[in-house]
């Protein structure tokens, strides 16, 4: 029975025959009823699933929590996290109420961040009673234990301290009898597989394909029991040299003694892997042939190291040296591979820029219709059917440029390798009239064909996640639609790390959408230059930038529309936005550098440098922070305007009176945004620092922070944690929250 025509199949055959003779009108009617019946069945099935916390919809979670008496927590957005695990584990929490393990698990479930609870009375230097000896409680630290010395004042330290009587609730004090610390890791760890390492001529390689030094991050291992306290291997922290060095040294010694090595960082889920590509085939360097060391001077590793055996010494070969703190790699002098690939994890605050996170929602919504044409680009995958898999992006673009008008096409980049393609001149991307091209970092899986049982790849099917390809070379794009066309074409870029400029050349391009990409600040930008030809100025172009890190946007006066959402626009000391002809809309973004535009609608954003808007009688700025001297349209609950007004009210000044210059300068200095890091490549890049004013960290429309990371709702997470700690903290104890990253 056809599931889509169950009602029609229930009719007697005579009615179906008569209906076929009369044009199948009855079949069409029952098809409409069948659709509504299926929707009703799905709703009934959903009602059953909503009875259980594991399968219910997000909107049901607060209602289940209310049945369990879970109160006083703010609901979070989908992007910020879910309270599902917190509600699901409520009964388990209450059975173990007051223990450090439960406080740690509550912090992890309610915030979505990795957490570690520390009872500070365990770290107090005390005179011991003979009936309660604590051998680990040593008054002075062992200066020969370099591993523990690196952990001093952190969440995993073991050194003893004298008492600190300041309150821990304000993060002022720590080491006291009633104090409990909740350490949180806000940065997330994003794993990448087989990325092209960047060669530094005459020195070695960097794990980052753009050639900058980045710290490698741990890939957290899951805790299996609620009573287990998190260890260093369970949190998304930057990797340290010492524990990795000790593990690999112990591994080589165990192999020497014919024993099975105990591996934590290099077990089933290694924190990094190194591959040498020789004649097109990647060969992995085993962990026991890697030396962990400080490569600040790019030293070449020894070719072998001797280890004592029961009867003699055994030499183990060393093929590579790795510095996880700087993200550097040096091969043995005898190795000359064609290319080096690395698998590792990097740290960042959220899903912004090119990354390995899931982007399928955007790619599903952006396509106008099912693609007519699709090809792949990969150095690892090969064709299994009639599809085309190219080795270079320029070959795929050349194939696209031969497609007719009205084509909807997709170029799928299927790995995280570096592609050195200069898409300029004859190799530039051309977008015909009524056409749409999506260039996306995604997997294009081969599926089994039910008829021929031969795997094949289907046009229109791809999974935009887990990959971050790197494009090295300028990219030019031009629209070939005629002047006055009602359907100029569209180019969409998604999930790509781009190191050079994207330029829209003379022509008629209708739309350029750049989503979840990284255009490396200081190197890459988006440019639409001015044209002397009236009909080749791209005056119908709509530029949309979403979830992207970009080095700057420069548009000619002919471009009239620019939309920026959830982005970091970093112009450094220069201009971040130069769009004097455009009506600009900016939402939940952080702009580093000066900005110039025709008109502006902005909300929940941070403008670090001066903002100049030409048409100030239209548009509005809401819940933003910007330099006070900026020329903008009317402002609503923006900083520092609101802080100046509140300061005047506290001083009982009338509307005709003004703050003194000293008072005003103090407010303006406090209202300048403070960032943890402003250098691209740092894990805490553009993260608001702890010294940033409270009005900025909670000044967005929904009470979260202004800027690009407002969607993470960090103030709401912290408020939820404090509310939960009141319920599960033992009487007489105080808890403090400390951010490790």
pLDDT: which is higher, 381 or 206: 206
Least confident stretch, 114-118, 137-141, 390-394, 673-677: 137-141
Burial label, 498 (beta-carbon count in 10 A; 0-12, 13-18, 19+): buried
Instruction: State mean pLDDT over 327-342.
Output: 90
Burial label, 388 (beta-carbon count in 10 A; 0-12, 13-18, 19+): middle
Q: Report d(CA 545, CA 152) in Å as an integer.
A: 43
pLDDT confidence band for 64 (50 / 70 / 90): confident
Instruction: State mean pLDDT over 83-90.
Output: 77
Has residue 285 got a pLDDT over 50? yes
- Residue 652 has what pLDDT? 67
Has residue 499 got a pLDDT over 50? yes
Percent of the chain with pLDDT over 70: 96
What residue has token string 């003694």? 257
What pLDDT digit, counting tens, does each position of 690-712 carry? 889 999 999 999 899 999 999 99
What pLDDT digit, counting tens, does each position of 443-470 carry? 998 887 655 567 788 888 898 999 999 9
What pLDDT digit, counting tens, does each position of 361-379 carry? 888 888 878 899 999 999 8
- Residue 589 has what pLDDT? 95
Helix-strand-coil percent breakdown of the chain, rounded to 5? 25, 30, 50
Has residue 104 got a pLDDT over 60? yes
Helix (H) or strand (E) holding 92: helix 90-95
What residue has token string 């370099």? 146
pLDDT confidence band for 512 (50 / 70 / 90): very high
pLDDT: which is higher, 310 or 211: 211
The count of other CB atoms within 10 Å of the CB of residue 35 is 11
What pLDDT digit, counting tens, does each position of 176-205 carry? 888 888 899 999 999 999 999 999 998 999
What pLDDT digit, counting tens, does each position of 198-256 carry? 999 989 999 999 999 999 999 998 887 777 888 899 999 999 999 999 999 989 888 88
- DSSP strands (E only) in 432-535: 436-441, 447-448, 455-456, 470-471, 475-479, 490-494, 497-498, 502-504, 511-515, 518-519, 526-528
Least confident stretch, 197-206, 327-336, 359-368, 490-499: 359-368
pLDDT: which is higher, 128 or 429: 429
What pLDDT digit, counting tens, does each position of 531-558 carry? 877 777 888 889 999 999 999 999 988 8
Has residue 657 got a pLDDT over 70? no
- Residue 653 has what pLDDT? 63
pLDDT confidence band for 1 (50 / 70 / 90): very low
pLDDT confidence band for 81 (50 / 70 / 90): low
- Residue 237 has what pLDDT? 92
Q: What is the mean pLDDT of the chain?
A: 87
Least confident stretch, 137-141, 254-258, 286-290, 479-483: 137-141
Least confident stretch, 54-58, 467-471, 735-739: 54-58
- Residue 29 has what pLDDT? 84
Q: CA torsion sign, 259 to 265 to 270 to 272? A: negative
What pLDDT digit, counting tens, does each position of 564-574 carry? 999 999 988 88
- DSSP strands (E only) in 186-335: 188-196, 198-200, 204-206, 273-278, 281-284, 290-292, 304-308, 313-317, 320-323, 328-331
What residue has token string 């969409």? 492
Least confident stretch, 60-69, 106-115, 286-295, 367-376: 60-69
- Residue 28 has what pLDDT? 82
Residue partners of 302: CB distance under 8 A and separation at least 6: 291, 318
What pLDDT digit, counting tens, does each position of 152-180 carry? 888 988 888 888 888 887 777 888 888 88
């Amino acid at each position: 029975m056809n599931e889509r025509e169950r009602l029609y199949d229930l009719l007697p055959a005579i009615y179906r025959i008569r209906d076929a003779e009369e044009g199948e009108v009855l079949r069409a009617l029952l098809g409409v009823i069948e659709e509504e019946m299926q929707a009703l069945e799905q709703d009934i099935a959903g009602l059953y699933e909503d009875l259980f916390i594991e399968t219910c919809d997000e909107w049901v979670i607060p209602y289940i929590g209310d049945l369990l008496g879970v109160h006083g927590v703010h609901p979070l957005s989908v992007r910020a996290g879910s309270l599902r695990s917190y509600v699901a584990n409520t009964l388990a929490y209450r059975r173990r109420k007051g223990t450090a393990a439960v406080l740690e698990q509550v912090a992890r479930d309610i915030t979505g961040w990795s957490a570690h609870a520390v009872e500070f009375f365990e770290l107090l230097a005390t005179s011991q009673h003979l009936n309660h000896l604590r051998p680990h409680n040593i008054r002075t630290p062992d200066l020969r234990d370099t591993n523990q010395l690196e952990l001093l004042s952190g969440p995993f330290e073991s050194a003893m301290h004298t008492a600190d009587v300041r309150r821990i609730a304000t993060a002022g004090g720590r080491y006291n009898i009633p104090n409990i610390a909740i350490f949180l890791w806000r940065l997330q760890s994003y794993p990448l597989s087989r990325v092209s390492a960047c060669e530094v001529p005459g020195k070695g390689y960097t794990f980052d394909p753009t050639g900058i030094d980045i710290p490698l991050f741990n890939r957290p291992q899951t805790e299996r029991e609620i009573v287990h306290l998190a260890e260093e291997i369970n949190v998304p922290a930057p990797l340290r040299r010492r524990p990795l060095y000790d593990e690999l040294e112990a591994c080589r010694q165990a192999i020497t003694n014919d024993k099975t090595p105990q591996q934590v960082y290099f077990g089933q889920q290694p924190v990094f892997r190194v591959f040498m590509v020789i004649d097109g085939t990647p060969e992995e360097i085993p962990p026991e042939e890697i030396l962990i060391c400080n490569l600040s001077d790019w030293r070449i590793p020894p070719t072998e190291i001797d280890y004592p055996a029961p009867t003699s010494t055994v030499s183990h070969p060393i093929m590579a040296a790795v510095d996880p703190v700087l993200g550097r790699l040096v091969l043995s002098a005898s190795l000359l591979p064609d290319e080096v690939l690395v698998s590792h994890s990097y740290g960042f605050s959220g899903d912004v820029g090119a990354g390995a996170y899931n982007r399928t929602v955007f790619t599903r919504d952006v396509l106008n219709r099912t693609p007519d044409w699709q090809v792949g680009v990969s150095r690892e995958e090969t064709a299994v059917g009639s599809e085309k898999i190219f080795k270079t992006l320029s070959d795929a673009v050349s194939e696209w440029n031969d497609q007719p008008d009205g084509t909807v096409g997709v170029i799928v980049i299927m790995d995280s390798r570096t592609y050195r393609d200069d898409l300029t001149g004859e190799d530039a991307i051309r977008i015909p009239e009524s056409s749409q091209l999506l260039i996306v970092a995604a997997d294009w899986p081969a599926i089994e064909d039910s008829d021929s049982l031969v795997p094949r790849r289907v046009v229109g099917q791809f999974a935009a996640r887990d990959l971050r390809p790197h494009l090295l070379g300028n990219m030019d794009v031009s629209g070939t639609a005629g002047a006055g066309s009602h359907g100029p074409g569209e180019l969409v870029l998604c999930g790509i790390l781009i190191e050079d400029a994207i330029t829209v050349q003379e022509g008629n391009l209708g739309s350029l959408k750049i989503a979840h990409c990284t255009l490396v600040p200081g190197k890459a930008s988006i440019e639409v230059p001015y044209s002397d030809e009236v009909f080749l100025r791209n005056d119908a172009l709509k530029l949309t930038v979403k979830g992207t890190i970009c080095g700057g946007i420069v548009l000619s006066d002919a471009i009239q529309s620019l939309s920026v959402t959830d982005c970091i626009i970093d112009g450094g000391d220069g201009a971040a936005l130069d769009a004097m002809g455009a009506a600009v809309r900016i939402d939940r973004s952080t702009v580093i550098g000066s900005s110039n535009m025709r008109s502006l609608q902005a909300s929940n954003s941070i403008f670090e440098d001066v903002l100049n808007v030409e048409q100030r009688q239209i548009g509005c700025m809401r819940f933003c922070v910007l330099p006070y001297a900026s020329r903008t349209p009317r402002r609503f609950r923006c900083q520092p305007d609101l802080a100046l007004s509140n300061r005047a009210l506290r001083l009982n000044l009338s509307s005709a009176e003004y703050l003194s210059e000293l008072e005003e300068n103090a407010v303006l200095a406090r209202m300048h945004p403070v960032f943890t890091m402003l250098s691209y490549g740092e894990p805490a890049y553009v993260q608001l620092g702890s010294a940033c004013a409270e009005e900025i960290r909670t000044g967005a429309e929904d009470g979260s922070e202004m800027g690009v990371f407002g969607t993470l709702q960090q103030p709401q997470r912290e408020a939820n944690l404090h509310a939960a700690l009141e319920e599960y903290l033992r009487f007489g104890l105080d808890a403090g929250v400390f951010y490790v990253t």
